[in-house]
Amino acid sequence: MILHGYFRSSAAWRVRIALHLKGLTVEHRYQHLRKGEQLSPGYLALNPQGLLPSLVLDDGTVLTQSLAICEYLDEVRLEPPLLPGDPVSRARVRAFAQAIACDIHPVQNLRVLKALQARGQTAEDTQTWAAEVIARGFDALEALATDRTGPFAFGDRPSLADVFLVPQMANARRFGVDLRWPRLNAIEAACLDLSAFAETHPDRQPDAE
């Protein structure tokens, strides 16, 4: 398999974590977001959205969107599971991950910030707005995870919720968010003790700069 990513892309980091947890190896190829390499004709032929990541399977099939890729990996490589066994718990883990993927993270997308600035918003305005969205989202995530037991978001082993939370915590730091959520900080610390999270960290990627 081939994973197209970028060291600083939190969406690509999610997939790197999931691959590592599943014990799967891939060939890495890099699209430099700030140089616009994801908008090259060659990459757009692979992923018409011009977004990262993209996972090319051994048969040439291309999968896009980190949430869909992670769930695909969970279905084809059953151990260790990223989703709990019972329907209610699965729904809760998915809701936690989707709160990040659908509600919090898109506002920090470089394409969105540039579009706002092209329409008259200052860089400071867009950065402040992005940080406010993260903070409101983290307030909700803290509440969702506070009454859960275990070191991870939903128990004694990492789930899809953790796979999405840790990259978003790093993203929050880039936007200057004061990480004042004790439960989220504790979850992140537990995750970063695992090689699947630590070794896939953006700072440890070959294309890091």
Helix, coil or strand: residue 96: helix
CATH class, 2-80 region = alpha beta
pLDDT of the residue at 109: 87
How far apart, in whole angstroms, are the C-alpha atoms of residue 38 and residue 100?
A: 22
Distance of alpha carbon 5 from the chain centroid: 12
CATH for 87-196 is 1.20.1050.10
pLDDT of the residue at 147: 87
**H helices, E strands: number in the chain:** 9, 4
How far apart, in whole angstroms, are the C-alpha atoms of residue 47 and residue 54?
A: 7
How do the domains of the chain map onto residue ranges?
2-80, 87-196
How far apart, in whole angstroms, are the C-alpha atoms of residue 171 and residue 179?
A: 11
Tens digit of pLDDT for each residue in 41-85? 999 999 999 999 999 999 999 999 999 999 999 999 999 999 999
Orientation of helix 10-22 relative to helix 66-76, angle to 10°: 10
How far apart, in whole angstroms, are the C-alpha atoms of residue 99 and residue 97?
A: 5
Q: Do domains 2-80 and 87-196 have the same CATH topology?
A: no
Tens digit of pLDDT for each residue in 113-122? 889 999 999 9
Q: What is the residue whose two structure tokens read 């999968």?
A: 63
User: Per-block average pLDDT, block size 10, for the chain (209 residues)?
Assistant: 97 98 98 95 97 97 98 98 96 98 93 91 93 98 93 97 98 96 98 98 97
Q: Do residues 123 and 115 touch, judged by C-beta distance below 8 A? A: no
pLDDT of the residue at 81: 98
Q: What is the residue whose two structure tokens read 């616009």?
A: 36
Give the DSSP letter string of 148-197. Answer: --SSBTTBSS--HHHHHHHHHHHHHHHTT-----HHHHHHHHHHHTSHHH
pLDDT of the residue at 144: 96
